[in-house]
Amino acid sequence: MIEYLNGETGEPLVELTLDTALDCSQPGPADEAVADAVDFGEVNFVASADEIRQFLAGYGSWNDEELADDQENLHRVLWVAACDIRENPSDF
């Protein structure tokens, strides 16, 4: 399992396998792969909903209304983590 950390706090956000990261960060839309990974328990979300929301808010890509949806935030943080792992595999 890969432990994906919040770059600002160093606290863990999510744990996932390399295969899951690659599936969820493939070229093109990854919504289905991300939803499947969340729905089928392929990911361990370590951080609280508030910690995930604060992490995602730091990207500036989602407004407060969007970040109020905790379920979607799980999908978002998984997608961010997966893309980061794919793009920077030596960091993990």
User: How confident is the model over 1-29, as pLDDT tens digits?
Assistant: 999 999 999 999 999 999 999 999 999 99
CA distance 68 to 25: 24
Structure-block tokens of residue 91: 């960091």
Structure-block tokens of residue 55: 């992490």
Nearest to 9 by CA among 67, 50, 61, 64: 50
pLDDT score recorded for residue 39: 96
- Whole-prediction pTM: 0.96
User: How confident is the model over 29-86, as pLDDT tens digits?
Assistant: 999 999 999 999 999 999 999 999 999 999 999 999 999 999 999 999 999 999 999 9
Structure-block tokens of residue 2: 């890969």
pLDDT score recorded for residue 11: 96
